[in-house]
Amino acid sequence: MRLNPADGLLYILTKLLKSFDRRQTDMEYFEPDKVKNILVVSSTAIGDTLLSTPAIRAVRERYPDAKIIGHFSIKNMELFENNPHISRIIPYYGGYRKFLRTIRELRRHKFDLALIFHGNEPQAVPMAYLSGARFISKLPFPRKNDFLLSNKGCDTEIGGLHNIDVKLKSTTFFGCTSTSREMVLIVGMTERDFASNYLAKKGITQDNFIIGFQVGAANQYKVWPPESFAMLGKRLLSYDPGIRIIITGSKQEKKLCSSVAAAIGQNALSVAGGLTLRQMGALIEAMDILVTNDTGAMHMAVALRTKTVSLFCPTDDWAVGPLQDLRLHKVIKKDRPCNPCITKKCTTPHCMELITVDEVFQTTVEHLHIADA
């Protein structure tokens, strides 16, 4: 892996600045009554940010009058612009793109504290420090930048915790007590009207069962084979001709989604790359069930209380899978056959092939006909 010289320069800069910083930044000096401006960071993928929303709500409940600024990825921040617990969003552009401009914007808000729920290192913690925030927390600790954190002396044990619980735990350092694990994703009436009109134009009515397929994922090692999705689609349409299959995905997954839709044939439709994230949220909300890899669409469906059948092998459902409204969600999980699992380095996820079309079909059909309550 090639080292980025900018990473080393950023480390040296923050190390130098910290050595001259005379502010008391340990948690014993934290005074909650003086908090006016808060930075919450979740600057990576859709799922990571959705998993952060319970913690953001906990911060808002503890500091109802504070200005809370979200620092989210420019790629998905539109999903969170109407989050009721955030005052506004400052975009993260990725890596060192618009780095200095972003730091200048962050510093304007004079943050009292920064909570990093999920962010790429080595940028996330240094950016929070350069924002001017006096108190900074993150779990788990980054290997190189922990000297910038205020929660070094706190209980940082997170083994066996779900990702949502890790983020909620990090808020307790600052006096937050909420234990609600429900994610927050708001679908507006504009988007709901769009979804209703879109489905009507495609000839999909209330008499049809709408089954979504999320066939892609951010990483190849999480992907159930496209051929299996195609076979599942054919089985479902043979089982009930009234089923309509909608395949969701990003612009980058458009070719993949179109090929799966074509393999299924009539009554399968790909919307990959053709919708905004908010519109996709409304469409997922309108589905009867979503069959999905471990990816952002799965978390959107969980947040929107749409039934899911989620497929896991290299990743752990206990850490990132459904945690709320469990009656609405079925997880199919296989044990990892490879040790060690090389995750992002794996370009051919043979382990996902352990999940059979038969068991996904059976689970989907049974779950489709079970009442929500």
Kindly state the average pLDDT of the residues 142-153: 90
How confident is the model at residue 1, as a pLDDT?
45
How confident is the model at residue 156, as a pLDDT?
87
Cis amide prior to 140 (ω within 30 degrees)? yes
How confident is the model at residue 373, as a pLDDT?
44
Kindly state the average pLDDT of the residues 156-172: 96
Percentage of the chain beyond pLDDT 70 is 98
pLDDT band at 51 (very low <50, low <70, confident <90, very high): very high
Report whether pLDDT(338) > 90: no
Report whether pLDDT(346) > 90: no
Report whether pLDDT(368) > 60: yes
Say whether domain 5-172 belongs to CATH 3.40.50.300: no
Per residue in 252-263, pLDDT (tens digit) is 999 999 999 999
Residue span(s) of the chain under CATH 3.40.50.2000 come to: 5-172, 190-368
Percentage of the chain beyond pLDDT 90 is 90
Per residue in 11-28, pLDDT (tens digit) is 999 999 999 999 999 999
- Tell the CATH superfamily of the 190-368 domain: Glycogen Phosphorylase B; (3.40.50.2000)
How confident is the model at residue 370, as a pLDDT?
73
Per residue in 175-225, pLDDT (tens digit) is 999 999 999 999 999 999 999 999 999 999 999 999 999 999 988 999 999
pTM score: 0.95
CB 323 within 8 A of CB 181: yes
Kindly state the average pLDDT of the residues 129-150: 94
